[in-house]
Amino acid sequence: MEGILIALVVFLLAMDQQILTRTLHRPLVACTIFGMLLSNTAIGMAVGASLEMTLLSFDTARYYLHRPGSVLYSCFAVLLAVKAGMNAAEAAGVALVFLGIGCGIAHLFDVGSLVFLQQARKAAETRDEKKLTMANFLPLVLRALIFAVIAFAGVSQAENFTTAMETFGDRFGWILEGFAAAGALLPLVGFAVLLRNLSAKDMPGAFFAGFACAVLAGSTLSFEAAAAVCALLAFGLGAFAYHLNLNETSSASAEKTKKGDSGKWW
Amino acid sequence: MVVGTGKYTNTNEAFPLDRKTLNQIFVRSFFADASHNGETGSSAGWCWALLPGLKQIHKNEEDLALSMGHELEYVSAASPMATLAMGVTLALEQQKCDLETIRSARTVASAAADSFGTALFDYVIVPVSAVGCCSLAANGNIAGVLLYFAVLAVLSVLLRYVMLYYGYSKGTRAAESLCRHKDALKQGARMAGIFMLGAMTFLFIRGLQPDMYLPNNYQMVSFADALESVLPGLLPLGMLGIIWHMLTKKNRSLLMCVLLLLAVGMLGALLGLFGGFFISPLHLPWLNL
């Protein structure tokens, strides 16, 4: 019964990582809920506070890569603290393997969800809302289900399961890392498609200017701040190009009217 | 024809969206990132969230299909502020602007909103509320957890709601005056969009850095630093060049591009090029350094 309850909560929290307010899956909240389920709220809260600080101490890039694994991490850290009697800091360290496993599964789905993207494209062609809804929610449910199954499998023997996962990570973790690396590179396909559809061939300068600005801004600012700065620059550049085109058009039409022939050709 | 490319048949401005439809989009925006995928980010959820508005704007079925198709291109809707970009996109759709104008504006607006929203939450709201709430929780006070949840949840809901209406009203006002010169707007928007894509190529592929060390004159040199000294962001730029070449010059399918990147990721992980949680099972010289 305990296993089913924990698996159900993991299922719901794993979905919260991507939908709604994305607040419940935060370690502080998630660990407290797991603590309550294991009848030890105080330990749950202490582990949650420790995990929250661990994740916040990661640098931004790592934080983003590893954030999807935080539900499994929270679940097993609390299980280890309550069932194996570890203190909060020790549990946070030992359960770290689940951050990697959860992250690997999330990135596996970054690649696997492309099947559903294809389904969404077909739904767009046929204006089929039901199919689009399925394409949107099915990967979410499947991913959460895998998280729930892992949690269910490890509830009764958390310590042994953690050791088994570490062995699995040593042998096959590189596959999950491969999916993580591929998942991190995949947006490039989306960017290339956008560039093609924007007919970027005649404006390569704008692309390289954007890249250079991002490099300069990214060297001193956080990546988010750099992206916001680049967006403002893009806005300014777009507005400048708009006014330039507007002036050219109006001066060309004024020229035509002045000559008198091309303006009234009929 | 590629899904989402072409021109709208009916280019007459549509009626403004009513409050009921906007509220429906607001509720759906909570699920916009449900099917996050590597290639197009949150596109399927984004399209699903905008669908009530798109249906009201495009009465012509072909136009609706076209609109749904191009909304499935890369977009990021993970942050609560993504609704700002949704509002702007809907305003441009309502004016029946060129697809290139809409996709450019969407790219810039979504990248800006997502970055700003993420920075606001992850650098300001989360750390500030976490510091106080974690110390309360660590002492066994449940109020810390409840306060933490409430602050984040309430701000997230409020931002979504306000930004959707703000983006739509401001976007509509701007689009009404700008769309009188559609060609100039298209050129300006394209330039902004392409510029932003250049920036995103460097900024959004930031998580992946070669993580290996090479011996050089009795000292270890980071391969990432060596690459950075040539040109920062060389890896994503080079990979984008290859994908672009495959798509436009060699006319390869998207699947081929995805498979290539998957192969690069797997090979890189096997050779331990990218570091990470798990190490490669191969006993390669740079892994033992």
- CA-to-CA separations, B240 to A84, A194, B211, B253, in angstroms, rounded: 48, 12, 20, 15
Q: Are residues B175 and B43 both part of a single domain?
A: yes
pLDDT at B127: 83
Give the closest residue to A113 by CA, choosing from A130, A129, A137, A131. A137
- Chain B nearest-CA distance from A265, in A, is 23
Q: Residue range B86-91: average pLDDT?
A: 96
Q: How is residue A36 written in tokens?
A: 């309550």
What's the whole-number average pLDDT of chain B? 88
Q: What is the pLDDT of residues B225-240, one digit of tens each?
A: 777 778 888 888 999 9
| B12 is a domain residue | no
Interface test with A, best of B75, B99, B196, B267 (most A CBs within 10 A): B196
* Residue numbers of A between 189 and 208 with CB closer than 8 Å to B: 189-201, 203, 206-208
**Nearest residue in A to B69, CA atom:** A124
Query: Which residue is listed with tokens 């789905």?
Result: A109
Answer whether A69's CB lies under 8 Å from A101's CB.
yes
Same domain, residue pair B261 and B144: no
Pair (B26, B113) in one structural domain: yes
Residue B3 inside a domain? The answer is no
CA distance A36 to A53: 21
Residues B99 and B176 in one domain: yes
Residue B162: CA count within 13 A, CB half-sphere: 9
Does a structural domain hold residue B142? yes
| Domain final position from B166, B182, B198 | B182
The predicted pLDDT at position A266 comes to 38
- Write b or e for each residue in B31-55: b if 16 or more Cβ atoms lie within 10 A of its Cβ, otherwise e: bbbbbbbbbbbbbbbbbbbbbbbbe
pTM of the complete model = 0.89
- For A159, other C-beta atoms within 10 Å of its C-beta total 16
How many Å lie between the alpha carbon of B13 and the closest alpha carbon of chain A?
Answer: 21
Here the ipTM equals 0.90
What is chain A's alpha carbon radius of gyration, rounded to the nearest angstrom? 26
- Contact: A210, B108; criterion CB under 8 Å: no
| Block residue for tokens 């704008």 | A206
B206 Cβ partners below 8 Å, 6+ apart?
A60, A61, A218, A223
Residue B283 inside a domain? The answer is no
State the virtual CA torsion across B23, B26, B28, B30 in degrees, nearest 10: -150
Q: Is A139 on the interface with B (CB under 8 A)?
A: yes
Q: Do B34 and B88 share a structural domain?
A: yes
Q: Which structural domain range is residue B247 located in?
A: 207-270
CA distance B109 to chain A (A): 8
Alpha helices in A17-67 (DSSP H): 27-37, 41-57, 60-66
Q: Do B262 and B155 share a structural domain?
A: no
Q: Are B58 and B10 in contact (CB under 8 A)?
A: yes
Stretch among A28-42, A118-132, B38-52, B266-280 having the lowest mean pLDDT:
B266-280
Closest partner residue to B44 (CB to CB) among A49, A120, A237 is A120
Considering only CB atoms, which chain A residues are within 8 Å of B140? 42, 45-46
What distance in Å separates the CA atoms of residue A152 and residue B250, rounded to the nearest whole number? Answer: 48
Euclidean distance between the first and the last CA atom of chain A, given in angstroms as a whole number: 87
Q: How confident is the prediction along chain A (266 residues), in pLDDT tens digits per residue?
A: 888 999 999 999 999 988 988 888 888 999 999 999 999 999 999 999 988 888 777 655 455 555 677 899 999 999 999 988 888 888 888 888 888 888 888 888 888 899 999 999 999 999 999 999 999 999 999 999 999 999 999 888 888 888 888 888 888 888 888 888 888 889 999 999 999 999 888 899 999 999 999 999 988 888 888 999 999 999 999 999 999 988 877 776 666 555 544 443 33
**CB within 8 Å: B265 and A183:** yes
Domain limit, last residue, from B142, B167, B182: B182
Closest CA to B274 of B289, B264, B282: B264
Q: Is the pLDDT of residue B289 over 70?
A: no
* Candidates B134, B258, B278; nearest CB to A28: B134
Residues 6+ apart with CB under 8 A from A120: A131, A132, A135, A136, B35, B43, B44, B47, B72
Distance of CA B148 to the CA centre of its chain: 27
User: In the predicted model, what is the mean pLDDT of residues B21-35?
Assistant: 95
Contact residues on chain A for B141, CB-CB shorter than 8 A: 45
Considering the domain boundaries, does residue B284 fall inside one?
no
Residues of B in contact with A107 (CB under 8 A): 38
Residues of B with Cβ-Cβ distance to A222 under 8 angstroms: 119, 123
Return the number of other C-beta atoms located less than 10 Å from residue B107's C-beta.
28
Rounded CA-CA distance A209/A230 in Å is 10
- The partner residue sitting opposite A184, judged by closest CB among B184, B193, B205, is B205
Closest residue of chain A to B101, computed from CA coordinates: A198
Three-state SS at B215 = strand
Using one digit for the tens of pLDDT, what is the confidence trace for B145-183? 899 899 999 999 999 999 999 999 999 999 888 888 888
Q: Is B217 found in the same domain as B107? A: no
B222 membership: H or E segment, kind and range: strand B219-222
**Contact of A186 with B43, CB cutoff 8 Å:** no
Whether B141 maps to a domain, the answer reads yes
Number of domains in chain B: 2
Query: Per the domain annotation, does B198 fall within a domain?
Result: no
Asked if B175 and B227 sit in the same domain, the reply is: no
Contact B185, B171 (CB under 8 A): no
Say which of B99, B195, B240 has its CB closest to residue A210: B195
Q: How many CB pairs under 8 A join A and B?
A: 446
Integer Cα distance of A56 and A42 in angstroms:
21
Four-residue CA torsion sign, A160, A162, A163, A169: positive
By Cβ distance, the residue of B122, B135, B203 closest to A218 is B203
Q: Are residues B122 and B233 in the same domain?
A: no
Interchain contact, A132 vs B48, CB within 8 Å = yes
Shared-domain flag, residues B44 and B128: yes
Record: contact A63-B206, CB cut-off 8 A: no
Which residues have a Cβ under 8 Å from the Cβ of B117 and sit 6 or more positions away? B79, B80, B81, B82, B159
Radius of gyration of chain B (CA): 23
Which of A172, A242, A247, A249 to probe the B interface (max B CBs under 10 A)? A242
Cβ–Cβ below 8 Å for A242 and B184: yes
Q: Does B150 share its domain with B239?
A: no
CB neighbour class for A34 (10 Å; exposed up to 12, middle 13-18, buried from 19) = buried
Tell whether B142 and B258 lie within a shared domain.
no
Residues 146-165 of A with CB under 8 A from B: none
CB pair distance less than 8 Å for B35 and A45: no
Q: Would you call A181 and B243 a contact, using CB atoms and an 8 Å cutoff? A: no
Task: Find, among B266, B35, B25, B64, the residue nearest to B163 by Cα.
Answer: B25
Task: List residues bridging with B215 in a β-sheet.
Answer: B220
Looking at the domain assignment, is residue B285 inside a domain?
no
